[in-house]
C-alpha cells in the first residue's frame, strides 16, 4: 500500500482533481478518514464540555452558553486549523503524520485548491485565521463578561465569515468548480464542511443586528425624553 511508504524518494500519485495538478513531493495521508474526523469530533465535544461547564458557573442564558461554545469552537478552528494551512504551503509533503497536515491532505479531496495553493483560498484562510480567529475568542470573553461591544464584535466576525465563504464559493464557480476527487467529497467536504459557516453566522448576524437596532431605538427615546 502506498500509505505505508514514507520515503521521500518514492513518487506518490496524488488523489486530487484536476489530475494534471503538479504536487512534487506529495506524501499520502497516514490517517484514515474516520480517524481524522473522529479526532475533530472529539475536539468539538471537548470544547462543548469545557465551555458548557464554564458558562453554567457564570449563570448565563442557554443562548449565551451556546454562543460561547460556538465562538470557542470556531475561534480555535480558525486559529489552529486554518492558521496552520495559511502559513504551511507545503503541508502535502508532510511525512510525519502530523494531524493538521493530515486534515488538509484529506480536505483537498473535496477542494484541491488547498493543495494547489490557490491565491483566493489562501487569502480567505489567512484573513480568517489572523483576524477572525482571535476575534472569535475575544467574543467568548465579551459574552462571558457582558461587555457592551459583544453584539457588534459578534456581528463583525460573522460578517467576515460570510464574506469569506462567499469569496470561497464564488471563486470556485468562476474557476470552473472542478476541484473535487468525486461527488462524495464534493458534498461531504466542499459543501458539508462549510455549511455551518453559512447558517450559523447568518443567524448570529441577524440576531446582533436586531439587538443593536433595539439598543439604538432605546437610546433615541431616552434622548427625546430628556429633551422634553
Q: CB pairs under 8 A, 24+ apart, for 190-193?
A: 190/110, 190/111, 193/107, 193/110
Q: Is 217 in the site for a copy of itself (CB under 8 A)?
A: yes
Of the candidates 66, 152, 191, 193, which one interacts with a copy of itself according to CB under 8 A?
152
Is residue 136 a contact partner of residue 75, using CB atoms and an 8 Å limit? yes
Contacts (CB under 8 A) with a copy of itself, residues 92-151: 119-120, 122-124, 126-127, 146, 148-151
Handedness of CA 28, 31, 37, 43 (dihedral sign): negative
Of the candidates 53, 63, 206, 215, which one interacts with a copy of itself according to CB under 8 A?
215
Q: Is 156 in the site for a copy of itself (CB under 8 A)?
A: yes
State in angstroms the smallest separation of the CB of 172 from a copy of itself. 8
Is residue 33 a contact partner of residue 40, using CB atoms and an 8 Å limit? no
Q: Is 198 in the site for a copy of itself (CB under 8 A)?
A: no
Is residue 60 a contact partner of residue 68, using CB atoms and an 8 Å limit? yes
> In the complex, which residues of this chain contact a copy of itself (CB under 8 A)?
119-120, 122-124, 126-127, 146, 148-152, 155-156, 159-160, 163-164, 166-167, 170-171, 174-175, 209, 211-220, 222
Amino acid at each position: 500500500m502506498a500509505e505505508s511508504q514514507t520515503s521521500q524518494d518514492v513518487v506518490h500519485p496524488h488523489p486530487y482533481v484536476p489530475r494534471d495538478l503538479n504536487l512534487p513531493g506529495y506524501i499520502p495521508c497516514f490517517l484514515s478518514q474516520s480517524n481524522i474526523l473522529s479526532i475533530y469530533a472529539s475536539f468539538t465535544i471537548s470544547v462543548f464540555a469545557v465551555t458548557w461547564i464554564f458558562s453554567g458557573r457564570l449563570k448565563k442564558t442557554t443562548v449565551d452558553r451556546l454562543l460561547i461554545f460556538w465562538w470557542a469552537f470556531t475561534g480555535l478552528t480558525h486559529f489552529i486549523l486554518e492558521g496552520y494551512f495559511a502559513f504551511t504551503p507545503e503541508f502535502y509533503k508532510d511525512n510525519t503524520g502530523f494531524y493538521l497536515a493530515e486534515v488538509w491532505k484529506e480536505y483537498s479531496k473535496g477542494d484541491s485548491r488547498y493543495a494547489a495553493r490557490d491565491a483566493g483560498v489562501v487569502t480567505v484562510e489567512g484573513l480568517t485565521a489572523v483576524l477572525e480567529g482571535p476575534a472569535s475568542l475575544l467574543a467568548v470573553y465579551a459574552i462571558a463578561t457582558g461587555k457592551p461591544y459583544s453584539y457588534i464584535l459578534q456581528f463583525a466576525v460573522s460578517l467576515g465569515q460570510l464574506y469569506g465563504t462567499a469569496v470561497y464559493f464564488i471563486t470556485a464557480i468562476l474557476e470552473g468548480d472542478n476541484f473535487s476527487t468525486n461527488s462524495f467529497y464534493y458534498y461531504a467536504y466542499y459543501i458539508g464542511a462549510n455549511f455551518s459557516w453559512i447558517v450559523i453566522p447568518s443567524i448570529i448576524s441577524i440576531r446582533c443586528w436586531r439587538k443593536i437596532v433595539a439598543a439604538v431605538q432605546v437610546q433615541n427615546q431616552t434622548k427625546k425624553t430628556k429633551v422634553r
